[in-house]
Amino acid sequence: MNKVYLDYQSSTPVLPEVLEAMLPWFRDYYGNASALHELGIRSKKALTRAREQFATAIHAAEPEEIIFTSCGTEANNLGVKGSAYALQSKGKHIILSTAEHPSVENSVAFLEKQGFTATRVPVDRQGRIDPAAIEAAITPETILIATHYANHDIGTIQPIELIGEIAERHKIQFFVDAAFSAGWLPIDVTRLRTGLISLSPHRFYGPKGVGVLYKNRKARLLSIISGGIQEGNRRSGTENVPAIVGAGLAMEIAETEREKRVAHVSALQKRLWEGLSAHIPYICLNGPLPGDGRHPCNLNISTEFIEGEGQLLLCNAAGIAVASGSSCSSKNLKASPVLSAIGQALTLMQGNLIFSLGKDNTEEEIDYVISSFTKIVERLRGMSPVWDAFQKGQVQSVIAPAK
């Protein structure tokens, strides 16, 4: 086995046909989409085509409801901050969950420093948001409910439709971070009743450097970047035409192939979890079991008595690309906030590893990962003083405590 990439949630390769479609827009058709000459109008038409591709994929009423940004993080910043600024005359209270992506959580934290207030609704042990808790947090001051569709860390799929109903009933603007869901989970903005939803094309075989924010006509939004009147005055700055063209095509293909891709990765996700849990004692899954409640690509596990960065490095040495939420793997030395939000034990937060699957992974690859990872765990446990202490009965397992 040569290389196994299991970090598709952090990024995917660009499809060959998507890259082909992008190339002329670098090379031949380089006009600024705001320009009034032939090359400019060509670019503008290309943007319109991509807008239509996204609108069709998510059942938006009109292509003009699609706003292009530079990435998913910018789309989330625009969705959260842009809503807050547009609605601040009505109130200053925002509701979100404790398990949001940093681009949502930190946008709200930024707004709090400017006088906005926020209620962070807790998630349960599986990472699920209780819609009733969202409703209970609503005050007359509430202007925005901001939450995610599928969790970026542990894959939990949220009851978005139910939260959307609540938002609609209370006439509160509803922003959904679907950066980890688009391309994999069905998005129908009419059913989700969301005013705003963000998408990230490089997670479904589109290019990096482009993000998407859907904005329902009724949703209020203020631009957070000052400049020209691009994107209907919602996002200033010259549009990245090649990336947007690629993103539109990637979205179209993702929708066409979605069921096939999902069936494929779901089977591998189940195979991987069943293989790992059969071969390795004292490991646990973070988030719901593979099935309807979990993003089909994501498998987030904690292995007891060993630390995550060491696991990641040994996986890398075995040619396996994965991610970890342990504090040692993060630049700020803080363990995953989502694992903290679900109340995971501190030691299990350290033993964390995230596998994320893509459409091109194979059963052979998964079997190689299962056998390699089993050896990696044995090796690291052989070095671990905590494993020693457990063997001698000096410490208990958190996953399987003795009676």
Partner 1 sequence: MAEEYSLYNPTVMDHFLNPRNMGDLEDADGIGEVGAAACGDIMKISLKIGNDGRISDARFKTFGCGSAIASSSMATELVKGKTIEEAMQLSNKNVVDALGGLPPVKIHCSVLAEEAIKAALDDYLKRHPEMAARVAAAKAQKQPNE
* Known active-site residue 284: no
Buried b (16+ CB within 10 A) or exposed e, 157-168: bbbbebbbbbbe
Does 185 engage in binding with partner 1 (CB under 8 A)? no
Does 300 engage in binding with partner 1 (CB under 8 A)? no
Among 36, 113, 292, 333, binds partner 1 (CB under 8 A): 333
Among 87, 154, 276, 306, binds partner 1 (CB under 8 A): 306
Among 327, 356, 361, 372, binds partner 1 (CB under 8 A): 327
Please say whether the beta carbons of 217 and 62 come within 8 A. Answer: yes
How many chain residues touch partner 1 (CB under 8 A)?
27
Does 328 engage in binding with partner 1 (CB under 8 A)? yes
Please say whether the beta carbons of 283 and 276 come within 8 A. Answer: yes
What does the per-residue mask of binding to partner 1 show for 95-134, with x meaning CB under 8 A? ----------------------------------------
- 3-state DSSP percent of the chain in helix, strand and coil, to 5: 45, 15, 40
Contacts to partner 1 from residues 192-221, by CB under 8 A: none
The single-letter DSSP state of residue 96 is: E
Does 385 engage in binding with partner 1 (CB under 8 A)? yes
C-alpha 242/C-alpha 246 separation (Å) is 6
3 state DSSP class of 233: helix
Among 317, 343, 375, 400, binds partner 1 (CB under 8 A): 317
Name the segment binding partner 1 (CB under 8 A); options: 52-60, 82-90, 124-132, 327-335: 327-335
Among 313, 337, 340, 360, binds partner 1 (CB under 8 A): 313
Structure token digits, residue 106: 């930190």
Structure token digits, residue 225: 């970047």
Q: How far is CA 136 from its chain centroid?
A: 26
C-alpha 310/C-alpha 333 separation (Å) is 14
Please say whether the beta carbons of 1 and 364 come within 8 A. Answer: yes
Q: Nearest distance from residue 276's CB to partner 1, in Å?
A: 20
Helices (H) and strands (E) in the chain, counts: 14, 12
The DSSP bridge pattern shows strands 211-215 and 196-199 to be: antiparallel
Q: Nearest distance from residue 388's CB to partner 1, in Å?
A: 6
What does the per-residue mask of binding to partner 1 show for 348-367, with x meaning CB under 8 A? --x-----------------
Q: Nearest distance from residue 335's CB to partner 1, in Å?
A: 8
Does 309 engage in binding with partner 1 (CB under 8 A)? yes
Does 326 engage in binding with partner 1 (CB under 8 A)? yes
| DSSP state letters, 197-238 | EEE-GGGTT--SS-EEEEE-TTS----SS-SS-HHHHTS-S-
| Residues found near partner 1 in the complex (CB under 8 A) | 305-310, 313-314, 316-317, 326-329, 331, 333, 335, 346-347, 350, 382-388
Residues serving a catalytic function are 328
